């Protein structure tokens, strides 16, 4: 009996469910760089280079461990173009009579896999992806019968279930959440350590060459590639984060500084999401640093909440709500993505910096994704389909299970408050408080109206005004709506006029 075990680009873990009980004598592993996956959206060049290189390194490790493996490179003339066609071919060649898979990260891929057993006439077993700390059924059980789903309550259950950062049955420090301590701007005399960087080896160099020819029209820059592409290297990134950055992760989690794309963040999402690191080991290392006295509680708790709370929560939500979640558009947003999302040409310095760094690094840290780019997409009323596609393309850590809840739920409030209790909308003064972007901007953050005024200032009030019917009763928006209601008619009309001028300029592809 020969079993085929297919490994996807985001399944590069030796502990993967579908690699368990592998029979060295009879079984085959298949890995393939296929067109359907590499270009169903036009992924950032660095994202493709990273994943192809990480896949090739992982395949080499499996072969070194004695696995029989077929690896199909993108430019192989026999490349079948899709996962299913590659599976079918290998099944025929090696008389395979069973296919073992690990649950994929995207609904689209799962739907395809579910057809294979009937279409190929071979038994297909899809195993749970147990690299996540909450199984899909555990999440569904937690969500069942709840009027509201809130990350905070799920996170507390996860802390208890896994006994992370607990003293007996109490949270360490007697508080579950230290977010209020994590909102400082970066002092002028502080500069974050340089990120961990690796020189591309010959495998990565081959892949970079391939990507530069085959994906030349995709978004983003390919030079200065420095990602980790093996587990060994990813562990170095993790270790250096714990030693050098975790101490300040909490305090400056929300801070943004021009020319500092990496700040005190961990830069491990690429590796967690493709399987080179596991969430469990990441959390354990952070907790160990805290217990040794090497990291403060606000930083450790803040970091663990992101991995154990948000990461698991958005995944649970995605699978609970798909496929309908894809079509959510609670605020009936219709706007098209402005051109500057692709070419970075805008006079709004905050957006210019964040999109430029995204193009250079296939990375932006959370608060840039949320409070600059996301905030703009919300205030400008951009259509969820276009915003989702952009976010899926541009970040090297982007997979639909994590990207979509963050976009549809967190930034666009398109799910009507399923993920977040209120929209993350903010005017220029928030951006000015948390960053130094405004100092080099064409617009003035102090001005509220007129041609020189920061567009976030009037767009913020226009957004609330436009969506009053749907958001006016949100208890968490009581204060801004009271302010809006107390505004004079004249002030409101000025806000509307400025916003219309801005939207018209966007529509006509003028530089804003």
Ligand X SMILES: Cc1cc2nc3c(=O)[nH]c(=O)nc-3n(C[C@H](O)[C@H](O)[C@H](O)COP(=O)(O)OP(=O)(O)OC[C@H]3O[C@@H](n4cnc5c(N)ncnc54)[C@H](O)[C@@H]3O)c2cc1C
Residue closer to ligand X, measured from CB, 22 or 139: 139
Q: Does 274 bind ligand X (CB under 6 A)?
A: no
User: Reduced to 3 states, what is the DSSP secondary structure of residue 203?
Assistant: helix
In the complex, minimum distance from the CB of residue 431 to ligand SF4, in angstroms, rounded to a whole number:
4
Closest CA to 108 of 74, 82, 135: 82
Number of Cα atoms under 13 Å in the Cβ half of residue 252: 24
In the complex, minimum distance from the CB of residue 334 to ligand X, in angstroms, rounded to a whole number:
19
For residue 266, the partner it binds in ligand SF4, ligand X, none, with Cβ less than 5 to 8 A by kind, is: ligand X
Q: Does 273 bind ligand X (CB under 6 A)?
A: yes
Residue closer to ligand SF4, measured from CB, 309 or 423: 423
**Any idea of the CA torsion for 213, 218, 221, 225, to the nearest 10 degrees?**
-60
User: Distance between CA 174 and CA 156 in Å, rounded?
Assistant: 12
Give the interface with ligand SF4 as residue ranges (CB under 6 A).
348-350, 428, 431-432, 437-438, 441, 443, 445, 454-456
Q: From residue 413, how far is each of 40, 264, 387 by CA, in Å?
A: 25, 28, 12
User: Reduced to 3 states, what is the DSSP secondary structure of residue 225?
Assistant: coil
Q: Does 418 bind ligand X (CB under 6 A)?
A: no
For residue 445, the partner it binds in ligand SF4, ligand X, none, with Cβ less than 5 to 8 A by kind, is: ligand SF4
Residue closer to ligand SF4, measured from CB, 308 or 382: 382
For residue 484, the partner it binds in ligand X, ligand SF4, none, with Cβ less than 5 to 8 A by kind, is: none
Q: Residues 67, 150, 366, 468: which binds ligand X (CB under 6 A)?
A: 366
For residue 307, the partner it binds in ligand X, ligand SF4, none, with Cβ less than 5 to 8 A by kind, is: ligand X
User: Reduced to 3 states, what is the DSSP secondary structure of residue 453?
Assistant: strand
Radius of gyration of the chain (CA): 24
Stretch that binds ligand X, among 65-73, 94-102, 269-277, 462-470 (CB under 6 A): 269-277
- Say how far residue 116 (Cα) sits from the centre of its chain: 29
Stretch that binds ligand X, among 2-10, 132-140, 263-271, 337-345 (CB under 6 A): 263-271
**Taken in order 145, 151, 154, 156, is the CA torsion positive or negative?**
negative
Q: Restricting to residues 306-325, which ones interact with ligand X according to CB under 6 A?
A: 306-307, 310-311, 314
In the complex, minimum distance from the CB of residue 504 to ligand X, in angstroms, rounded to a whole number:
26
Instruction: Tell me, letter by letter, the H, E, C secondary structure of 379-445.
Output: HCCECHHHHHHHHHHHCCCCCHHHHHHHHHHHHCCCCCCCCCCCCCCCCHHHHHHHECHHHHCCCEC
User: Distance between CA 12 and CA 8 in Å, rounded?
Assistant: 7
Q: Restricting to residues 381-410, which ones interact with ligand X according to CB under 6 A?
A: 391, 395, 397-398, 402-403, 406-407, 410
- Say how far residue 469 (Cα) sits from the centre of its chain: 31
Q: Does 458 bind ligand X (CB under 6 A)?
A: no
Containing 3, the helix (H) or strand (E) segment is strand 3-6
Q: Residues 6, 211, 268, 274: which binds ligand X (CB under 6 A)?
A: 268
Q: Which residues bind ligand X (CB under 6 A)?
A: 265-269, 272-273, 303, 306-307, 310-311, 314, 365-366, 369-370, 374, 391, 395, 397-398, 402-403, 406-407, 410-411
């Amino acid at each position: 009996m020969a079993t085929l075990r297919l490994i996807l680009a985001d399944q590069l873990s030796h502990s993967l469910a579908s690699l368990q009980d592998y029979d060295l004598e009879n079984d085959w592993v298949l890995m393939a760089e296929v067109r359907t996956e590499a270009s169903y959206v036009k992924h950032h060049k660095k994202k493709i280079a990273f994943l192809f290189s990480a896949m090739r390194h992982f395949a080499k490790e499996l072969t070194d461990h004695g696995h029989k493996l077929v690896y199909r490179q993108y430019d192989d003339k026999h490349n079948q173009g899709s996962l299913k066609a590659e599976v079918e071919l290998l099944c025929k060649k090696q008389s395979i009579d069973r296919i073992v898979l690990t649950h994929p990260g995207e609904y689209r891929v799962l739907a395809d896999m579910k057809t294979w057993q009937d279409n190929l006439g071979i038994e297909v077993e899809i195993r749970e992806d147990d690299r996540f700390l909450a199984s899909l059924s555990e999440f569904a059980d937690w969500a069942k019968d709840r009027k509201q789903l809130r990350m905070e309550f799920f996170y507390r259950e996860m802390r208890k279930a896994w006994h992370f950062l607990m003293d007996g049955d109490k949270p360490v420090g007697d508080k579950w959440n230290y977010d209020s301590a994590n909102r400082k701007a970066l002092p002028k005399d502080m500069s974050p350590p340089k990120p961990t960087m690796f020189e591309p080896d010959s495998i990565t160099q081959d892949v970079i060459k391939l990507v530069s020819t085959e994906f030349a029209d995709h978004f983003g820059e390919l030079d200065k590639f420095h990602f980790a592409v093996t587990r060994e290297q990813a562990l170095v990134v993790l270790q250096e984060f714990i030693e050098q950055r975790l101490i300040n992760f909490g305090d400056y989690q929300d801070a943004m500084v021009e020319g500092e794309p990496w700040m005190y963040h961990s830069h491990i999402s690429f590796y967690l999401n493709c399987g080179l690191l596991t969430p469990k080991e990441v959390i354990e290392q952070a907790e160990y640093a805290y217990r040794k006295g090497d990291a403060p509680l606000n930083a450790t708790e803040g970091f663990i909440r992101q991995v154990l709370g948000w990461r698991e929560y958005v995944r649970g939500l995605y699978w609970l709500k798909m496929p309908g979640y894809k079509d959510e558009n609670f605020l009936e947003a219709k706007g098209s993505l402005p051109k500057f999302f692709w070419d970075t040409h805008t006079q709004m310095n905050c957006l210019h910096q964040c999109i430029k760094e995204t193009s250079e690094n296939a990375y932006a840290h959370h608060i840039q994704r949320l409070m600059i780019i996301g905030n703009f997409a919300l205030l400008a009323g951009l259509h969820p389909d276009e915003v989702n596609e952009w976010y899926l393309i541009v970040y090297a850590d982007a997979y639909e299970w994590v990207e979509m809840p963050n976009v549809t739920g967190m930034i666009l409030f398109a799910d009507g408050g399923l993920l977040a209790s209120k929209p993350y909308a903010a005017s220029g003064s928030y951006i000015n408080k948390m960053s130094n972007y405004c100092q080099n901007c064409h617009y003035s953050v102090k001005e509220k109206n007129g041609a020189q005024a920061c567009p976030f200032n009037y767009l913020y009030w226009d957004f609330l005004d436009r969506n009053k019917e749907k958001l006016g009763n949100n208890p968490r928006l009581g204060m801004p709506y009271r302010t809006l209601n107390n505004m004079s008619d004249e002030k409101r009309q000025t806000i509307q006029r400025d916003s219309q001028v801005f939207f018209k300029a966007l529509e006509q592809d003028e530089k804003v």
